[in-house]
Amino acid sequence: MSNSDVRPALNDFFVAVQAKALRQAEIALGNRDEAMDIVQEAMVKLASKYASQQPSWPQLFQRILQNGIRDWFRRRKLRQWLSLSFTEQDGSESERLECEALVSTETPESLHLESQQLYKIEMALKQLPQRQQQAFMLRAWWGADTNETAFAMQCSTGSVKTHYSRALAKLQHLLEDLQ
């Protein structure tokens, strides 16, 4: 497929997945701007490296996106570790980062726009460990099967099953009133 054929197809693919990808990254990171950066990086990486592999775009995009989210958490952890080790802060910075995910989207406006139910769901998802959250979002929301989820998360299918079942159990506990 020539370059000119790929562009419209890839654009259509991005249009189809962009909103979900942005929301998933936003729920994971707790910040829309940073989520936007990660989605954009994933798009650029897919286009620059895998434009010719059209049948595998969904899996490859998921893998790149999940990697981006994981790298963001690694960087944050490193920042936290550095701030604790070298600057001897009183923990306010790490505390701020810890809370950032929970508070940054909790504007009155967003609360007004989103239903109370959605707000509770997002809060519950944010309380899941990152890998459990990824497994749940990929399996339940994106509809990926176990193999596709394992490919995106770069782990075994057994791990995917474990993460997913734990995520489900925790969500059922956290969202008991929705049941």
Cα separation, 149 vs 41, in Å, equals 20
Is 117 an interacting residue with respect to another protein (CB under 8 A)? yes
Is 177 an interacting residue with respect to another protein (CB under 8 A)? no
Is 43 an interacting residue with respect to another protein (CB under 8 A)? yes
17: part of which helix (H) or strand (E)?
A: helix 3-29
Cβ at position 99, least distance to another protein in Å: 22
Cβ at position 41, least distance to another protein in Å: 9
DSSP 8-state assignment for residue 106: -
DSSP 8-state assignment for residue 87: S
Is 126 an interacting residue with respect to another protein (CB under 8 A)? no
Cα separation, 159 vs 176, in Å, equals 25
Q: How many Cα neighbours within 13 Å face the side chain of 137?
A: 28
Judged by CB under 8 A, the residue of 29, 34, 39, 129 near another protein is 39
52 phi, psi to nearest 5 deg: -80, -10
* 36 versus 155: smaller Cβ distance to another protein: 36
Q: Are 132 and 73 in contact (CB under 8 A)?
A: no
Chain contacts with another protein (rule: CB under 8 A): 2-3, 6-7, 10-11, 14-15, 18-20, 22-23, 32, 36, 39-40, 43-44, 46-48, 51, 114-115, 117-118, 121-122, 140-141, 168, 171-172, 175, 178-179
